[in-house]
Amino acid sequence: MTAPVVVAIGSNSDDPVAQVRRALGRLAALSPGTFLASSLWESSPVDCPPGSPPFVNAVVRFDPPQDLSPESLLDLLLNWESEAGRRRGPVPHAPRPLDLDLIAFGLERRATPRLTLPHPRAHRRRFVLQPLSEIAPDLVLPGWTASTRNLLAALEGDEVLRRLPDP
């Protein structure tokens, strides 16, 4: 796997486990090659309104189809969020049935109003790094100075993730 795509998946409403599993299936169907998925993890909401329920998170790493661009994948992810019932409104980080973040697209680097690659906050988020470390501990994304394992070990804060049991 030379140029993997990395997508973070989260949900904290409308049956989060089912939402994340459905997204995992859709992403697996998209990949013509290697597909790696983390376990499901439960995390406390970060930067969300008070009283927001916990999230169920996962991360996938896969080989993209050759004709897929970062922008077309972003469009697909946003469409899947909408189909799941996500509505972007005036309250930022409100509970949502599905949140799909494009973390990396191979070695691509972007900084446009629509898309920044790699994701600009992924290296500071335990709910991304812990699942990603599970499937790609030695991965160093473009612009990162350390592997996912080392970035996770260096994170500060008291956020705790709980690995959910396999079905």
Active site residue 126: no
Q: Which of 101, 109, 110, 149 is catalytic?
A: 101
Q: Which position among 22, 96, 125, 126 bears the catalytic label?
A: 96
Q: Which residue has the tokens 């409100």?
A: 94
Is residue 109 part of the annotated active site? The answer reads no
Identify the active-site residue in 21, 61, 99, 126: 99
| DSSP symbols for the chain | --S-EEEEEEE-SSSHHHHHHHHHHHHHHH-SS-EEEPPPEEE--SS--TTPPPEEEEEEEEPPPTT--HHHHHHHHHHHHHHTT----SSTT---S-EEEEEEETT--EESSS-EES-TTGGG-HHHHHHHHHH-TT---TT-SS-HHHHHHH--S----EEPPP-
Question: 70: buried, middle or exposed (CB in 10 Å: 19+, 13-18, 0-12)?
Answer: buried
Decide if 162 is catalytic. Answer: no
- Annotated catalytic residue: which of 21, 61, 86, 125? 86
Q: Annotated catalytic, 96?
A: yes
In angstroms, rounded to a whole number, what is the distance separating the alpha carbons of residues 30 and 69? 13
Cite the active site residues: 86, 96, 99, 101
